[in-house]
Copies of this chain bind each other. A is one copy, B any other.
Amino acid sequence: MAGYQTNLRLTLPLTCVILEVILIILFAVLVEYDHETDAKLWHKHLLQHNDSNYNNDFYYRYPSFQDVHVMIFVGFGFLMTFLQRYGFSSVAFNFLIAAFALQWATLMQGFFHGMHGGKIHIGVESMINADFCTGSVLISFGALLGKTSPVQLLLMAVFEVTLFATNEYILLSILQAKDAGGSMTIHTFGAYFGLVVARVLYRPQLDKSKHKNCSVYHSDLFAMIGTIYLWMFWPSFNSAITAHGDDQHRTVMNTYYSLAACTLATFAMSSLVGPGGKLDMVHIQNAALAGGVAVGTAGEMMLTPFGSMAVGFLAGTISTLGYKFLSPVMEKKLKIQDTCGVHNLHGMPGILGAVVGAVTASLATREVYGDGMEDVFPEIYAGNFSASEQGVRQAISLAVTLGMALVGGVIVGFILKLPIYSGPPDTICFEDAIYWEVPGEMESQEELGTVMSEEVQKPLNS
């Protein structure tokens, strides 16, 4: 245990304060309200276009934003509380790095999405994009859960947000790929980036913390809060930044049916491979969500409801089998210790989603999309690409994403390996007490409770 310094007193406050001060300064210099949030500009717009306050985009994006926001903070946060003694860290470090990442993402994405006279303009759409980028960081966090300090996680977020914004720019602006729900930009990128970092941070003696790397009864129920919220709001996630009208409406429906089919596949597979036919909470908590990931790219396209269901069913199957058979192999052979199994929930289903997106795009015809083609595939509509070229560009985007994740993950992994971030030793991973004041032993308190309540029963009720 020599060399391990897990005291956060210096490292965490310093990191938080420095990062926040930099953010505030950069926001002061670079960030402005956009024309829908600025009092003067919006009222000028109202006058000039004889428009109505009811047409402010706020009313057509904010409910979606709030659903995404719930997924980021409750969904991801509680999904990771499944560990028996890591609930404080799961939900609170998720909270911390998300609160940082959304600010930093505003700047990075604003920079790439185009400055306006040297300024970044922000509104509800930039808030959704910032939450999306944050989601990617939280996926990577899932691979590292229990084995990293909050300082490492904040540092990872600094780099990952930057790489995310770069990759997103290459895909959406240079390659003109479509990826509204982020099968590639969010899920594939976040998962493989995190897995590579986990590989670099490989802990050969993690077995010593093995007895903590599992759930207890109530921690599994807390995790189900996360699962259910992710599942319910995934239609809002995939549709949050698609074009208004039929596009958002259709994306929601495709995702809804994909997830429903995925859930049946997950229960089927979990029972099929479980000892004695028993279901495994790990599968239900995670694999049932793969259907949302797998229609992240194609959800806005004319995938059809039954197409969505077929994709969802496949995703649930792959994901459950991945948890059962692939994860143990990856840990043993590839030395990738993937705490939450993000490879099964975000990695493989993300790639599936990218492939489904490429195929669906390459089959797009004017006959099916009508004038709606302009919203979904503006380049095909404009005659700049053929459908098959769009498909090829989607496929290239997947390759670029994987490349960025792998190279970026290696570099960031080595940066995070420096022994200066108050990380835990192998023997005390998955343990809140290392970073938290944990309330005293429950047993004795509960005994007291019982005694007290027996006292209460009698003398007072008359």
Nearest-neighbour CB distance to chain B for A403, whole angstroms, equals 31
- Contact between B215 and A56, CB atoms less than 8 A apart: no
Q: Annotate A242-276 by CB proximity to B: 1 below 8 A, 0 otherwise.
A: 01111111101100110111011101110110111
* Chain B residues with CB under 8 A of A434: 456, 460
CA A446 to CA B84, docked complex, whole Å? 9
- Contact between A461 and B276, CB atoms less than 8 A apart: yes
- Contact between A58 and B248, CB atoms less than 8 A apart: yes
Partner of A446, one of B96, B150, B442: B442
Is chain A's binding surface mostly helix, strand, loop or mixed? helix
- Contact between A460 and B6, CB atoms less than 8 A apart: yes
Q: What's the interface size class on A, roughly?
A: 35 or more
Partner of A257, one of B44, B103, B275: B103
Known A-B contacts A306-B27, A433-B456, A442-B216; the reply to A267 vs B96 at CB < 8 A is yes
- Contact between B252 and A124, CB atoms less than 8 A apart: yes
At the interface, yes or no: A385 with Cβ under 8 Å from chain B?
Answer: no
- Contact between A437 and B17, CB atoms less than 8 A apart: no
* Chain B residues with CB under 8 A of A233: 66
- Contact between A91 and B276, CB atoms less than 8 A apart: no
At the interface, yes or no: A41 with Cβ under 8 Å from chain B?
Answer: yes
- Contact between B371 and A40, CB atoms less than 8 A apart: yes
At the interface, yes or no: A9 with Cβ under 8 Å from chain B?
Answer: yes
Query: Restricting to A42-56, which residues have a CB under 8 Å from any CB of B?
Result: 42-44, 46-47, 53-56
- Contact between B433 and A250, CB atoms less than 8 A apart: no
At the interface, yes or no: A85 with Cβ under 8 Å from chain B?
Answer: yes
At the interface, yes or no: A211 with Cβ under 8 Å from chain B?
Answer: yes
- Contact between B39 and A81, CB atoms less than 8 A apart: no
- Contact between B100 and A264, CB atoms less than 8 A apart: yes
At the interface, yes or no: A277 with Cβ under 8 Å from chain B?
Answer: yes
At the interface, yes or no: A63 with Cβ under 8 Å from chain B?
Answer: yes
CA A25 to CA B439, docked complex, whole Å? 49
- Contact between A459 and B268, CB atoms less than 8 A apart: no
- Contact between B264 and A19, CB atoms less than 8 A apart: yes
* Chain B residues with CB under 8 A of A460: 1, 4-7, 425, 428, 434
- Contact between B264 and A99, CB atoms less than 8 A apart: yes
Partner of A428, one of B88, B123, B268, B456: B456
Chain B residue nearest to A123 (CB atoms) is B249
* Chain B residues with CB under 8 A of A69: 232
* Chain B residues with CB under 8 A of A229: 74
Chain B residue nearest to A313 (CB atoms) is B20
- Contact between A264 and B310, CB atoms less than 8 A apart: no
CA A122 to CA B436, docked complex, whole Å? 48
- Contact between B246 and A369, CB atoms less than 8 A apart: no
- Contact between A256 and B446, CB atoms less than 8 A apart: no
- Contact between A450 and B439, CB atoms less than 8 A apart: no
Q: What would 13 A/B residue contacts be, using CB atoms closer than 8 Å?
A: A6-B460, A7-B461, A8-B279, A27-B309, A33-B302, A57-B249, A84-B446, A84-B449, A124-B253, A425-B460, A428-B460, A433-B453, A433-B456
